[in-house]
């Protein structure tokens, strides 16, 4: 599923769909694609709407290279929601299928989820992630048996309850929907044809109400819904720290002292907790701290960037200072520019 506009990531998403935003120099959609590839899934369909032409070009590249997989794009003419977009593919989904969110970075073990799905006899199996504060998410309540009693301590079991963004008092668990599902074809028949419909808010409560078994399992490793710039920074920190234990490939480059510099990048300054992506150049005397610089950028001499995300093909004049800033693709900043707590260009 890759149809979201990513409004919280503007201006990065003014020129590309959210799944094409880069983490460690890779579009985030590639991470879930790799998880599917590792589970021997042989066909992937990407459902998209907003700026789908970019995704179509990128997805075509999956059909060749070192890890080829049969892949194609289904472009929505109008937004159909998460379940509605998948319903458009009903004629192709005649056996057990996997649905993943194209805008999250996660270490999904889909083989293990498929095994649990088959053993439990579930119509739907959902990947979960454990959080400290469940009030910002949709939480899931589990039971040891189908139609059994809720046990808030379980991390694996049959789904018995959902709750969107509970208060602290309402929270009956701290495991949340991680955006990857294993689904039987008959479940898709519940989605009204031609109607905008959502998995978590409409379809899954409907399955639960019908008394069909739904299973869930908490994943280990990493999970990030990169819907906010701070999540991009946090994701890169975690991926760098755990790079030797991750189940998916990372780009070629130098990992040193909590940083990453792509193989084709040039780094003449200093950095801390930062990423410099392919073909980008950082001038002498520049300092980066908690910064993500995407591909084909030029940062001039003696610049100072802190907690900032820089889009593709950006030029930042020498002596500039940026703090808590998001810079969209193709922006050119003059020498000695100073910006703090803003987005360039300015967006609503």
Q: 3-state SS string over 310-339?
A: ECCCCEECCCCEEEEEEECCCCEECCCCEE
Neighbours of 250 (CB within 10 A): 16
The upper half-sphere exposure of residue 15, i.e. CA atoms within 13 Å in the direction of its Cβ, equals 13
Burial of 338 (0-12, 13-18, 19+ CB in 10 A): exposed
Q: Read off the pLDDT of residues 255-290 as tens digits, 9 standing for 90 and up.
A: 988 899 999 999 999 999 999 999 999 999 999 999
* pLDDT computed for residue 346 by the predictor: 62
Q: Is the dihedral of CA 239, 242, 245, 251 positive or negative?
A: positive
Q: Read off the pLDDT of residues 22-31 as tens digits, 9 standing for 90 and up.
A: 888 788 888 8
Reply yes or no on whether the pLDDT at 173 is more than 70. Answer: yes
Tokens of 28: 């985030």
Q: What percent of the chain lies above the pLDDT cut of 70?
A: 98
Question: What are the phi and psi torsion angles at 225 (to 5°)?
Answer: -95, 100
- The whole-model pTM stands at 0.84
Burial of 75 (0-12, 13-18, 19+ CB in 10 A): middle
Q: What percent of the chain lies above the pLDDT cut of 90?
A: 47
With cut-offs at 50, 70 and 90, classify the pLDDT of residue 210: very high
* pLDDT computed for residue 120 by the predictor: 95
User: Across residues 47-60, what is the average pLDDT?
Assistant: 79
Question: How many angstroms separate the CA atoms of 259 and 172, rounded?
Answer: 38
> Average per-residue pLDDT in the chain?
88
User: Across residues 145-153, what is the average pLDDT?
Assistant: 92
* pLDDT computed for residue 222 by the predictor: 84
Q: Which residues of 18-54 are buried (b: 16+ CB within 10 A; e: fewer)?
A: bbbbbbbbbbbbbbbbbbbbebebeebbbbbbbbbeb
- Quote the DSSP letter at residue 47: E
155 near 128, Cβ under 8 Å? yes
Question: What are the phi and psi torsion angles at 13 (to 5°)?
Answer: -90, 10
Question: How many angstroms separate the CA atoms of 224 and 348, rounded?
Answer: 25
Strand-pair category, 270-272 with 304-310: unpaired
Sole residue written with tokens 């579009």 = 27
Strand-pair category, 332-333 with 315-316: parallel
Question: How many angstroms separate the CA atoms of 118 and 265, rounded?
Answer: 46
With cut-offs at 50, 70 and 90, classify the pLDDT of residue 348: very low
With cut-offs at 50, 70 and 90, classify the pLDDT of residue 347: low
With cut-offs at 50, 70 and 90, classify the pLDDT of residue 58: confident
Kindly report, as residue ranges, where domains of CATH 2.160.10.10 are found in the chain: 253-344
Question: How many angstroms separate the CA atoms of 193 and 84, rounded?
Answer: 8
Q: What CATH topology corresponds to 253-344?
A: UDP N-Acetylglucosamine Acyltransferase; domain 1 (2.160.10)
User: Across residues 109-118, what is the average pLDDT?
Assistant: 92
Stated length of the chain: 348
Question: How many angstroms separate the CA atoms of 26 and 32, rounded?
Answer: 12
159 near 144, Cβ under 8 Å? no
Kindly report, as residue ranges, where domains of CATH 3.90.550.10 are found in the chain: 7-225
- Quote the DSSP letter at residue 106: E
Q: Which residues of 300-320 are buried (b: 16+ CB within 10 A; e: fewer)?
A: bbbbbbbbbbbbbbbbbbbbb
Contacts of 314 (CB under 8 A, 6+ apart): 293, 294, 297, 298, 327, 328, 329, 330, 331, 332, 333
With cut-offs at 50, 70 and 90, classify the pLDDT of residue 200: confident
Question: How many angstroms separate the CA atoms of 38 and 338, rounded?
Answer: 45
Q: Which CATH class is domain 7-225?
A: alpha beta
Strand-pair category, 175-183 with 97-100: antiparallel
């Amino acid at each position: 599923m890759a149809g979201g506009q990513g409004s919280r990531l503007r201006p990065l998403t003014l020129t590309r769909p959210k799944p094409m935003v880069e983490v460690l120099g890779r579009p985030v959609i590639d991470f879930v694609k790799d998880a599917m590839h590792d589970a021997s899934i042989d066909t992937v369909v990407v459902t998209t709407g907003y700026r789908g032409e970019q995704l179509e070009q990128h997805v075509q590249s999956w059909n060749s290279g070192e890890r080829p997989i049969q892949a194609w794009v289904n472009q929505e003419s109008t937004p159909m929601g998460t379940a509605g977009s998948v319903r458009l593919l009903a004629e192709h989904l005649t056996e057990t299928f996997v649905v993943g969110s194209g805008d999250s970075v996660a270490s999904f073990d889909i083989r293990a989820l498929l095994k649990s799905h088959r053993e439990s006899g579930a119509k739907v199996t959902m990947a979960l992630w454990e959080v400290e504060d469940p009030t910002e998410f949709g939480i899931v309540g589990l039971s040891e048996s189908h139609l059994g009693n809720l046990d808030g301590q379980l991390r694996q079991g049959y789904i018995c309850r959902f709750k969107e963004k509970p208060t602290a008092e309402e929270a009956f668990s701290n495991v949340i929907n991680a955006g990857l599902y294993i689904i039987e074809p008959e479940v898709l028949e519940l989605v009204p044809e031609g109607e905008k419909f959502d998995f978590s808010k409409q379809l899954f409560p409907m399955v639960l109400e019908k008394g069909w078994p739904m299973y869930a399992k908490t994943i280990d490793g990493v999970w990030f819904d990169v819907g906010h710039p701070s999540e991009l920074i946090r994701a890169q920190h975690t991926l760098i720290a755990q790079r030797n234990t991750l189940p998916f490939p990372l780009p070629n480059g130098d990992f040193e002292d909590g940083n990453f510099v792509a193989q084709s990048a040039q780094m003449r300054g200093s950095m801390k907790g930062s990423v410099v992506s392919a073909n980008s150049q950082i001038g002498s005397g520049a300092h980066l701290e908690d910064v993500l610089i995407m591909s084909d950028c030029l940062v001039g001499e003696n610049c100072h960037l802190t907690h900032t995300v820089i889009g593709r093909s950006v030029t930042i004049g020498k002596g500039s200072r940026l703090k808590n800033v998001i810079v969209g693709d193709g922006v050119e900043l003059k020498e000695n520019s100073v910006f703090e707590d803003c987005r360039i260009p300015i967006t609503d």
